[in-house]
Amino acid sequence: MKKDEMVCDCDVIHEEVVDAVRKKLPDERELYDLSDFFKVLGDSTRAKIMWALDESEMCVCDLAVLLGMTKSAVSHQLRSLREANLVKNRREGKNVFYSLADDHVKQIFEKGLEHIREKKD
């Protein structure tokens, strides 16, 4: 498809479509929050952590060894992921284990990865 074929060259407004979509348009705050949600996922280090936690619940020490990072650096990234409600933690004695926050997060992450892998085929 050529670039000029992708441009709408009409002056007709399809009011029914515009009105139907406008009624469903989320409010500005929701769209702002959605944008922030994807910004948090937009860091490759956090994506690595998310991938690891998609595979298994892990503690900071295990994540640090897996990713070749310091515990401090991993903790910093986990804090961002926790604040965005993407990961959760649980304490077991002196250990704190992290996992993906819920099935929605798991599905979003896995679908994103599936989409990226699909483009390579």
CATH of residue 71's domain is: 1.10.10.10
Residue type, 108: I
Q: Is residue 98 part of a domain?
A: yes
- pTM to 2 decimals? 0.80
Report the Cα 107 to chain-centroid distance in Å: 10
Domain interval for residue 85: 43-120
Q: Give the model confidence (pLDDT) of 41-77 as tens digits.
A: 999 999 999 999 999 999 999 999 999 999 999 999 9
Can you tell me which residue has the tokens 């926790």?
82
Strand locations in the chain (E): 58-59, 87-92, 95-100
Residues 74, 27: contact at Cβ < 8 Å? no
Choice between 119 and 58, residue whose per-residue pLDDT is larger: 58
